[in-house]
Structure 1
Amino acid sequence: MSASAPTQPASKKKTPSAKPVRLEEKFAKLGLRSDMDFVLHLPMRYEDETEIVSMRDAGFRGGSSVQVEGEVTECDIQYRPRRQLVVTISDDTGQVVLRFLNFYGSQIKQMAVGMRVRARGELRHGFFGAEMVHPTYKMVNEGAALPTALTPVYHAGDGVSQTMLRKAITNALNKVQWYDTLSPTLLQELGLQDFESAVKLLHNPPPDVDQYALLEHEHPAWERMKFDELLAQQLSLKRAQASRRSQGATALPVVGALTQAFLATLPFKLTGAQERVLEEIRADLKQAFPMQRLLQGDVGSGKTIVAALAATQAIDSGYQAALMAPTEILAEQHFRKVAGWLEPLGVKTAWLTGSLKKKEKEQANALIASGEAQLVIGTHALIQDTVQFAKLGLVIVDEQHRFGVAQRLTLRNKAEAGKIPHQLMMSATPIPRTLAMTYYADLEVSVIDELPPGRTPIVTRVVDQNRRDEVIERVHAAAQEGKQVYWVCPLIEESEALQLQTATDTHAMLSAALPDCRIGLVHGKLKPAEKQIVMDAFTRNEVQVLVATTVIEVGVDVPNASLMVIEHAERFGLSQLHQLRGRVGRGAAASVCLLLYQGPLGHTAKQRLLTMRESTDGFEIARKDLELRGPGEFLGARQSGEALLRFANLEKDQYLVDKARNLAVQLLAHDLSTVEAHLQRWMGHREEFLRV
């Protein structure tokens, strides 16, 4: 038998071919269903196909995109250095090579010698003269007309070509019923262009348009689109807020014996900022509609005390309070701190996380269901179906951006039938004003903008990885003085692609370099009990140096820790670096944060490290983070994947945010028909997820 002979007869059974995806389904994946969806699918950028450049003149424009036209003089498949289609086109002034590394057989026939091609792309100078790699092209007849407008380029999905999109959008522009949701009087007051002319210009801009203004979204037509979507966002969030306020909640009016006893035990006085936000929260809790308040403050500003005082008001009023944190380490920190404050005052607490044994969970669930547990602290385990509260009055969600809308909604639905618990969301990542006014327009926002007295300032230094030995010496010196040190690494295991120093390697390296120090290690793959053993040892100063991944980003409070080393700081975001730095500076000792980086640094990484070195103000850092990375980092899962702002830029378009917010309040009070029309146009099916 030959090596290639089959060992058994080939099956003649035909495999069913996959059902082809209809174009309507492909469009639907892009959110394009109605004519207005297509009309509002505005271009990402434009190509100028209104001009043909001679091949001789194109040669002087190396590195820029140009459009040339010529006759095919050669069309060959070449195999060096790899298989590629090479087509040479010529005009009266010269020639250009078109190079296709990926191509179909039909293209070889299409671009046969003698055919005429119009190609557009970036012109480079290769070994064989001027060339374009993978240009856009079309077959034309000599003298074929040029477009009279810039050619729009749209965001497209799998199996959807620009030609398909342009045809569908043109069809929608011709079919749609044009109307303006804003009256001529409003447009005049706001200095805005009318809707129809703005949209038509953006889809088909004339060749004499100000291209810079168009591409930078500064043209009056873009200004109208940005205002409209900001207005839709404001209307939707404000309406969601009104909808929540129309639902019933149990008023929690009693600031009683428990609250007074707790305040009496505190060894310090609340700051003015804490007093102010506490009064705002107390006023909300006394209402018969659900509080929806975001409590934000810098690292160490004392949010947990305020949250505990909100919980005591719920308990004083005869109801349960629940505190949910995104990680077990953070939930454990809250439990130890808050339960440590309230249990001596007679408050019965329950602890619930996914790592508890079955019997422990059942015991906790029984305490919660009977109402015996007045304060419940835990992780995502609180939202499991098996958890039933007797009288849930207040939900506190820490690091709220780490939770999805659905998760927060599930916990909210565990109150008594027909009632919604009050909700206090906490964030140690300060929200910039522009973001709070837009994406959080449906929430009341309280800000603790004052640090407690006695907090020592943190000095931040940026250090090259080549000076690692000096850093190790500094760590050793700190440990010898009785101080404690964090050493944070971004990865647990080796990654050849990133070549980052890992936590396990660093732990081994420091253990060898500092034999007279006890080095601990915590990371996400340790079991919760193992993590807690190490953390407890660090808290008791039995471990001098704690090597960790970002599991210690929030919640860890060890006043004796005064030196923080962050490995490969260039790989972290600004808000994360600020959170990590906030683990030190919690005691009386002067604290230092060393940002170790691996050069060369890109522009964004340089900006981040420079910001960290120059500022310890969380709000300034948050503003810079918004500028560098956009709103996604702050929003977390709030948007459920739906981008509410496609066109507006929160930093550049603040003046439009103010106008949109003011008009939204006016329309909701006096013109609900305009509200409905505008939301239907801009939000459609995307509005529902905001109603939480």
Structure 2
Amino acid sequence: MSEPAPKKPATAPKTAHDKALEKLGLVRDIDLALHLPLRYEDETRITKLDEAREGEHIQIEATVIECEVTFRPRRQLIVKVNDGTDICTLRFFSFYPSHQKALEVGKRVRVRGEAKGGFLGWTMLHPSFKAAGGNLPAALTPVYPTVAGLPQHVLRKAVLGGLARADLADTFEPGDLSQFSPHTLWTLRAALQFLHHPTPDVSLDTLSDHSHPAWQRLKAEELLAQQLSQLQSRRARAALRAPVLAEVAGGTLHARLLAALPFALTAAQARVGQEIAHDMARHVPMHRLLQGDVGAGKTVVAALAAAICMDAGWQCALMAPTEILAEQHFRKLLGWLEPLGITTAWLTGTQKAKERRAMLALIESGEAKLVVGTHAVIQEKVHFHNLALAIIDEQHRFGVAQRLALRGKLKHEAMEPHLLMMTATPIPRTLAMSYYADLDVSTLDELPPGRTPIVTKVVNEARRDEVIERIRAQVSEGRQVYWVCPLIEESEALDLSNATQTHADLAAALNGATRADGTPLLIGLLHSRMPPEDKKAVMGAFKEGLVAVLVSTTVIEVGVDVPNASLMVIEHAERFGLSQLHQLRGRVGRGAAASACVLLYSTGDAPRLSQSARERLKAMAETNDGFEIARRDLEIRGPGEFLGARQSGEAMLRFADLATDTALLEWAKAEAPMLLDRHPHLAAKHVQRWLGGKAEFLKA
């Protein structure tokens, strides 16, 4: 008779602390080892009160001489201690019976906090304390980023355990970094052990500004992991297959579209079109970013690429982040391609079921050669007949998972579609080297003729009446105006005028004003909570010139093209990001009339604007160059926000800083291919250590 199979040992249920660690992303030993302190406390020395300095964080050893709860002006625990040189009063506004027990009269305690002097002697508010005795620690005490329910002592113990268990063997020699450090060259293990427990003689400045050699080692490690991941992605893609979309000679759709366009391509458009055509003619999936300033003519380049795809007998999909932008593309492409006999399908989340079913049938049968829409394009129910080219506009506005989903839409013979991403937020060089290292980048670096330069003025809210008079003058000449508000509703946190109120105020202020032909002027209102039909109607009336002034939230940020609009007023401009301000400004200056953008700012109750708000408004007034705007935006905001990285839920870089660590980035870029070629097992180990399961997100 066979023995029964042994029972598997039951896994211990997760504790609250385990769940809190998971919430912080601390799952593996290496995650714990790489969870570095926010700051440090110096518990290595005892300071005498008669040697203390005002505002200094100190640790004293003293005897409790008084301990009582008082109720004036509010309930608090007052404890007085004497260290033999002076007396210090400890105040606690939140406390437990255990506090009173630990701080009974006669107890000897170690107390750490900020020493504040005054007429009544030294005081500390809510200091940390413990029983005196035992040796002083030899290293600074780390204070870690944490979440509710995970106290520092539990987190410290977990980190120490992870640090002891993690495999910290070097994947590259410390000597590889000799050019960056005149000091001792650090291994990964030594760097991490030091940063978790630095010696008291270290300069705290070098720890806080990340310039210490131990920090340099970590930044180099992180940048190398990122570069390796991008390089692996590029090489993996080179092994994949995509449909060959070669240009066909003769009376093709591409040639007919080119002939039918009412304008000539700029040299930049022609050059970039060739770069894209060359990519699509290969069996390797294209992974190209098309960047060009607002109004540089990216849509026509995308249309010509789509024409090559359709000439070869395949389908093309164009996805945009908002319905307004998607519809803008749809109407433009329809105007160009419908007369040439191309069926185009339209997909959004707000479509009626009957229309949607008809569109899905057109897409699945292959009758619709071009599909334009929002996120609806990547939903599971959308089955393409033979998708070969995916175009994503304003790609930084999409989450990484959404970009991956679009790439997964071609299951045809284990191939994947060519991918063309477009952005009007130009990518600074350091970002192109790091986050876009596995992308080929094409740049439209000239604007089509006829675009008028935009004059930008920064104006205080107090001069609002002058701005309204400017609007009256523009409208009387037959021009149109945008007025952009940041929020729809009042918010307690941000005391901003809402779009509805602004619309009513402008209607009252411009009451009696007339258009150039003497008709009363109409003021439209557009915001994100309006039903799609209403949005469409308002936008249509503005495009046709029936509405003279459009009060809007940022739904008009990208894609709206009204050549007759010559004035843009952005209210509470100090609340907007720099790239968003630049995008909004690009809605004017699209015709022959002189155009202006007024940045209305308010300091509210503050005496002046914040430093970053002043920098943003100054940059807008000084330049119209999208590349310069992008460079300054990166300086002000950092790469995570710049790239919309929050949509993937991950910080892009935890330790390195692209603004200051350019030399380390150059080193990592050069080191990655050598490590991958000579020591592939070390390269794989390095990426796994630093990125774990996140490497996939860097490939999108």
Indicate the TM-score class for this superposition, using the shorter chain for normalisation.
Answer: over 0.9
Letter in 1 for 2:159: I
Give the corresponding residue for 1:521: 525
Given the superposition, is the C-alpha separation of residues 622 and 136 from structure 1 closer, same or farther in structure 2, using an over 3 Å criterion?
farther
Q: Under a length normalisation based on structure 1, what TM-score does the superposition of the two structures give?
A: 0.93
Query: Which of these residues, 383, 386, 390, is aligned with residue 388 of structure 1?
Result: 383
Aligned equivalents of 1:621, 1:91: Cα separation in 2: 58
Offset, 1:20:
7.3
Alpha-carbon distance in structure 1 between the residues aligned to 2:598 and 2:23: 46
What is the TM-score normalised by the length of structure 2?
A: 0.92
> Which residue does 1:262 correspond to in 2?
257
- The answer to whether the 8 A contact 1:611-1:621 is kept is yes
Contact 2:39 2:142 in 1 (8 A): yes
For 2:235, the equivalent position in structure 1 comes to 242
5 Å-filtered alignment, 1:180-199, equals 180-183=170-173, 186-188=176-178, 192-199=185-192
Whether the 8 Å contact between 1:627 and 1:651 is mirrored in structure 2 is yes
Aligned counterpart, 1:277: 272
Deviation readout 1:453-476 (Å, 9 max, x if unpaired): 221111111111111111111111
**Structure 1 letter corresponding to 2:377:** L
1:461 aligns with 2:457: yes
Q: Return the alpha-carbon distance in structure 1 between the equivalents of residues 144 and 318 of structure 2.
A: 45
Alpha-carbon contact 1:429-1:634 (below 8 Å) kept: no
Which residue matches 1:115? 107
Deviation for aligned residue 1:500: 0.6
Q: CA deviation at 1:688?
A: 3.4
- Deviation of 1:56 (Å): 2.7
2:594 matches 1:590: yes
Which of these residues, 33, 38, 42, is aligned with residue 36 of structure 2? 42
Partner of 1:434: 430
Structure 2, unmatched stretches of 5+, are 1-12, 514-520
Aligned to 2:135: 145
Measured after TM superposition, the shift of residue 289 of structure 1 is 2.0
CA–CA distance in 2 between the matches of 1:639 and 1:493?
24
- Asked whether the equivalents of residues 319 and 374 of structure 1 are also in contact (C-alpha less than 8 Å), the reply is yes
Residues 1:554 and 2:572 are matched in the alignment: no
Aligned length: 670
Q: 1:656 aligns with which of 645, 661, 664?
A: 664
- Per the TM alignment, residue 187 of structure 1 is displaced from its structure 2 partner at its CA by 4.6
Q: CA deviation at 1:170?
A: 2.8
Counterpart of 1:397 in structure 2 is: 392
The CA deviation string for residues 607-662 of structure 1, in whole angstroms up to 9 with x for no partner, is 11111111111111112111111112232257621224211011010111110011
SS in 1 for 2:597: strand
Residues 568 and 588 of structure 2 are in contact (CA less than 8 Å); yes or no, is this contact kept in structure 1? yes
Secondary structure of 1:683's counterpart equals helix
Does the CA contact (< 8 Å) of 1:401 and 1:638 recur in 2?
no
Give deviations 1:484-512, integer Å, cap 9, x for gaps: 11000011112233221111001001111
Measured in 1, the distance between the counterparts of 2:509 and 2:168 equals 73
Check the 8 A contact 1:89/1:95 in 2, yes or no.
Answer: yes
Q: Does 615-624 or 263-272 show the bigger shift?
A: 263-272
Cα offsets for 1:383-431 (capped at 9, x unmatched): 2222211111111111111212222222222224312111111111112
Cα distance in 2 between the residues matched to 1:537 and 1:428: 26
State the alpha-carbon separation in 1 of the partners of residues 556 and 445 from structure 2. Answer: 23
* Match of residue 160 from structure 1: 150
Relative to structure 1, the CA distance from residue 346 to residue 174 in structure 2 (aligned partners, 3 Å threshold; closer, same or farther) is: closer
How far apart, in 2, do the equivalents of 1:126 and 1:255 lie?
86
Structure 1: which 5+ runs fail to align?
Answer: 1-18
1:26 paired residue number: 20
Match of 2:402 in 1: 407
- Report the AA paired with residue 404 of structure 1: G
Alignment of 1:142-541 (within 5 A): 144-183=134-173, 186-188=176-178, 192-256=185-249, 257-417=252-412, 418-515=414-511, 516=513, 517-541=521-545
Q: In 2, distance between residues paired with 1:213 and 1:185? A: 21
- The 1:148/1:53 distance shift into structure 2, 3 A limit, reads same
Provide closer, same or farther for how the CA distance between residues 496 and 204 of structure 1 changes in structure 2, counting only shifts above 3 A.
closer
Letter in 1 for 2:687: L
Q: Secondary structure of 2:223's match?
A: helix
Following TM superposition, by how much is the alpha carbon of 1:57 offset from its aligned partner in structure 2, in angstroms?
2.7
- CA 189–493 in structure 1, closer or farther in 2 if over 3 Å, else same: closer
Q: Deviations over 1:516-550 (max 9, x none)?
A: 32101100011111111111111111111100000
Alignment of 1:612-627 (within 5 A): 612-627=620-635
Task: Indicate whether 1:106 and 2:98 are aligned.
Answer: yes
Following the alignment from structure 1 to structure 2, what is the Cα–Cα distance between the partners of residues 622 and 255? 38
**Residues of 2 paired with 1:36 and 1:529: CA distance?**
53
Output the CA distance in 2 between the equivalents of 1:557 and 1:108.
Answer: 70
2: CA distance, partners of 1:62 / 1:501:
44
What per-residue deviation string (whole Å, max 9, x for no partner) do you get for residues 223-271 of structure 1? 0100001000111122122222322211111255111111112233222
Partner of 1:3: none
Deviation at 1:178, TM superposition (A): 4.5
User: Are the counterparts in 2 of residues 290 and 420 from structure 1 also a CA contact under 8 Å?
Assistant: yes
Q: After superposition, what is the alpha-carbon deviation per residue over 1:94-153, rounded to whole angstroms, capped at 9, x for unaligned?
A: 222222222222111111111122222223346744322222222213xx4322222222
State the one-letter code of the partner of 1:335. Answer: F
Distance 2:72 2:612 in 1: 38
Q: Deviations over 1:59-105 (max 9, x none)?
A: xx323322223221222222233322222222222222222222222
Contact 1:300 1:586 (C-alpha < 8 Å) held by counterparts: yes
- State the alpha-carbon separation in 2 of the partners of residues 572 and 318 from structure 1: 44
Report if the CA contact (8 A) 1:293-1:446 is conserved. Answer: yes
Structure 1 residues 128 and 164, CA, compared in 2 at 3 Å: closer, same or farther? same
How has the CA–CA distance of structure 1 residues 77 and 255 changed in structure 2, closer, same or farther, with 3 Å as cutoff?
farther
Instruction: Give the residue type in structure 2 aligned to 1:345.
Output: L
Aligned partner of residue 209 in structure 1, secondary structure: coil
Report the secondary structure of 1:521's partner residue. Answer: strand
Counterparts of 1:377 and 1:612 in 2: how far apart (Å)?
Answer: 33
Distance 2:469 2:157 in 1: 67
Structure 2 distance, partners of 1:120, 1:448, is 59
8 A Cα contact 1:243 1:691, kept in partner: no
1:124 aligns to what SS in structure 2? coil
CA displacement at 1:329 relative to structure 2? 0.6
The Cα shift of 1:551 comes to: 0.2
Measure the CA separation in 2 of the matches of 1:638 and 1:468: 35
